[in-house]
Amino acid sequence: MADEMVCVGSYDNAIEAELVLARLQAAELPAFLQGENTASTFAGINGMGARIRLYVNARYLKQVKDILAFLREERRLPSDWEQTVDFEEGVWLCPTCGDAVDESDLECRDCGTKRDLIREE
């Protein structure tokens, strides 16, 4: 059970997946990607094709989650990001990656950020 690999995330963007993998490997945490070859066929087209999945050793799950949380915070948009964009009807903009998300979705399809992280005015 100690060497069990678990999926901790999925990505549409191969570059982002590779960067996250590199961060984990730099911390000497066992990790690998699956699906990067298939996903590259539809690169740049969100929602098309397979997603790239990130797997890590379950033994290091706490450390990995801490690093992933840090990376999400590192790429978070500034607190006034809403004032710099024009909103379309029926969508909300993800504060982490800036992706337009359907109003009925509770989390961003691209990065997984929960809608409840958005400040209500």
Q: 118: how many CB neighbours lie within 10 A of its CB? A: 14
> What are the backbone dihedrals phi and psi of residue 6, each rounded to the nearest 5 degrees, phi first?
-125, 145
96 has a pLDDT exceeding 90:
no
- According to the model, what pLDDT value does residue 60 have? 92
Q: In the chain, what are the domains? A: 5-74 (3.30.70), 81-117 (no CATH)
Q: How many CB atoms lie within 10 A of CB 11?
A: 23
- Amino acid letter for position 48: M
Convert the pLDDT of each residue in 54-88 to its tens digit: 999 999 999 999 888 888 776 665 666 555 555 55
Contact predicate 53/35, CB 8 Å = yes
State pTM to two decimals.
0.54
Alpha helices, DSSP H, located in 33-85: 36-39, 61-74
Distance of CA 20 to CAs 56, 64, 89, 118, 120, Å?
Answer: 11, 10, 33, 24, 30
Give the integer Cα–Cα distance in Å for 117 and 115: 5
